[in-house]
Amino acid sequence: MHISNLKLWNFRMFGSEDEFSPDEPNLDLDFTTGLNVLIGENDSGKTAIVDAIKLVLKTHSYEWIKIERTDFYKNETRFRIEIKFEELSPEEAKNFTD
């Protein structure tokens, strides 16, 4: 099992002044099987990508992850996160909630 794609709409720095469109994410990021590395300058969105994944997966780390006002792009009232998994076995799938 691995994450193959992440899409973000109006999440932190990944947003747009345009009307919200479910067909046009503000970030559409593909991952490969194996190791993926996020490299970029400060404030380029690396932490936002990792935190979006943590929000969806409901991380079990000691860090408390919750949605805050700063997670919304500017004055938006909603955001959306989609994660696509590949090679997910039925045994692995049973551990995810709807």
Residue-wise pLDDT tens digits, 49-64: 999 999 988 866 677 7
Amino acid at 96: F
Low-confidence stretches of the chain (pLDDT beneath 70): 59-61, 97-98
User: Which 3 state secondary structure label does DSSP give 5?
Assistant: strand
Return d(Cα 2, Cα 15) in angstroms, integer: 26
DSSP-assigned beta bridge partners for residue 72 = 11
- At residue 24, the pLDDT reads 96
In this structure, the chain runs to a length of 98
Q: Is 69 exposed, middle or buried (0-12, 13-18, 19+ CB in 10 A)?
A: exposed
> Distance between CA 13 and CA 70 in Å, rounded?
10
